[in-house]
């Protein structure tokens, strides 16, 4: 029996409130019936942080730390790297090697945006940790859901903020600027997340369809 064709790795990125959860759910329902995933292959839907049992524990520490357990900025960066290393080796690589498709809510771009541009951690250090954690693995396609920060605030409304979302306006503005710069540098596909969710979904689907036309 021939080896399975390696799967595809798709990532959704963007600031909080950009609609990632909505679009992830829509893609979760659409992709298995799209005709793009080969017969016998599955769709694995995951997230960062939290895509493994270890990652779930790290997610709680990162977003909702108890008492005085709030990590300092450098520790926060290392925790995200640890989550990613476990995620890649335990979830993503095995799925891709088996020919499955992987759809992830966030990947390494979010660390560069939030911990690099937002927290001010050195980008060269972040890139070094990214290489260590991923072993060079890169998404086949990153969809950047681009939304103005003001609209993100409006959408979030009075929803309780986690520790990252509560970083303040200057922090969130730096993160938004970081996503824009990363998208241009890394060749992400920009999607206007301010449009109607159905239109956003159609654009995401079209971009994924064109991905499959590549060799």
| Nearest in space to 32 (alpha carbons), one of 107, 105, 104, 100 | 100
**Integer Cα distance of 149 and 78 in angstroms:** 27
Please identify every stretch of the chain with a pLDDT value under 70, giving residue numbers as ranges. Answer: 1-5, 158, 160-163, 165-166, 212-215
Exposed e or buried b for every residue in 129-161, given b needs 16+ CB within 10 A?
Answer: bbeebbeebebbbbbbbbbebeebeeeeeeeee
Report in angstroms the alpha-carbon separations of 164 from 24, 41, 140.
21, 35, 27
143: helix, coil or strand? Answer: strand
Return the DSSP state at 158: T
Whether 3 is in a domain gets the answer no
Element (H, E) at 182: helix 169-186
Whether 30 is in a domain gets the answer yes
E-strand ranges in 48-167 read 101-105, 141-146
> Scanning the structure block, which residue is given the tokens 């900025």?
73
Name the packing angle between helices 73-87 and 123-134 (round to 10°): 20
| CA atoms in the 13 A half-sphere facing the CB of 49 | 24
Domain count of the fold of the chain? 1
Whether 207 is in a domain gets the answer yes
pLDDT score at 206: 97
Q: Supply the Cα-derived Rg of the chain in whole angstroms.
A: 17
Q: Specify the CATH number for the domain of residue 63.
A: 3.40.50.300
Whether 2 is in a domain gets the answer no
**Integer Cα distance of 157 and 145 in angstroms:** 19
Whether 173 is in a domain gets the answer yes
Range of the domain at 55: 9-211
Whether 93 is in a domain gets the answer yes
pLDDT score at 156: 75
Whether 156 is in a domain gets the answer yes
**Integer Cα distance of 185 and 173 in angstroms:** 19
Whether 29 is in a domain gets the answer yes
């Amino acid at each position: 029996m021939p080896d399975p064709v390696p799967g595809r790795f798709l990532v959704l990125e963007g600031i909080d409130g950009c609609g990632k959860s909505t679009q992830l759910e829509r893609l979760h329902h659409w992709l298995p019936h799209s005709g793009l995933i080969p017969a016998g292959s599955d769709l694995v839907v995951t997230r960062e942080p939290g895509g493994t049992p270890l990652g779930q524990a790290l997610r709680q520490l990162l977003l909702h730390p108890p008492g005085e357990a709030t990590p300092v900025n450098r520790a926060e960066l290392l925790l995200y790297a640890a989550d990613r290393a476990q995620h890649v080796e335990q979830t993503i690589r095995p799925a891709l090697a088996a020919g499955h498709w992987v759809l992830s809510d966030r990947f390494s771009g979010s660390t560069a945006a939030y911990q690099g541009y937002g927290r001010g951690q050195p980008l060269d250090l972040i890139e070094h940790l990214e290489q260590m954690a991923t072993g060079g693995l890169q998404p086949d396609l990153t969809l950047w859901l681009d939304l103005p920060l003001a609209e993100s605030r409006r959408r979030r409304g009075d929803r309780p903020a986690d520790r990252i979302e509560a970083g303040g306006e200057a922090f969130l503005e730096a993160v938004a600027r970081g996503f824009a710069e990363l998208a241009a540098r890394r060749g992400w596909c920009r999607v206007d997340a301010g449009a109607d969710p159905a239109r956003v979904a159609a654009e995401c689907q079209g971009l994924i369809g064109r991905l499959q036309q590549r060799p």
